[in-house]
Amino acid sequence: KIPTMKMLLSLIALLSAALLVNAAPPTCYSRVLSLSKEITESFKELQTSKAVDSCVEMLPKLYLDIHNYCVLAKLRDFVAYPRCERVLEVSELKEKARSLYTIMISYCRRDLAFLTDDCNALESPVLPPIEPS
């Protein structure tokens, strides 16, 4: 019975440690990274959605790389785009982009490191190769 009890206590300790790791508050970097991925995915879904207005086709491309300094200009351009105000999904996406921009220039300004300033990379991103399954 003692080895089983020790194993059970070890398992409880391991699960508790895993919960504590997940409970840690997000860093500025992790928040910016997750929000940029969320925005990029939402934009892809918006482009492929059949229910949205034709103005979506005219929206500026929105591929975000938070390590590229040009992402700040990309976010500004997207938020300032004058069309599609009446499309709810676009308004929501613009609000997320505005939040990301604010987080990057205000709250996380000192925590972010830009590795490049290649604006063309945000226009025609090189996607990583798909790994065979």
Q: What is the pLDDT of residues 71-127, one digit of tens each?
A: 999 999 999 988 887 888 889 999 999 999 999 998 887 777 788 888 888 886 655
* Predicted local distance difference test score (pLDDT) of residue 14: 67
Contact call for residues 29 and 111 (beta carbons, < 8 A): yes
Q: Which sequence spans correspond to the domains of the chain?
A: 26-122
* Predicted local distance difference test score (pLDDT) of residue 52: 65
* Predicted local distance difference test score (pLDDT) of residue 12: 75
**What's the one-letter identity of residue 12?**
I
* Predicted local distance difference test score (pLDDT) of residue 114: 83
DSSP symbol at 57: G
Angle of helix 28-48 versus helix 88-102 axis, rounded to 10: 160
Residue in the block written with tokens 């945000």: 122
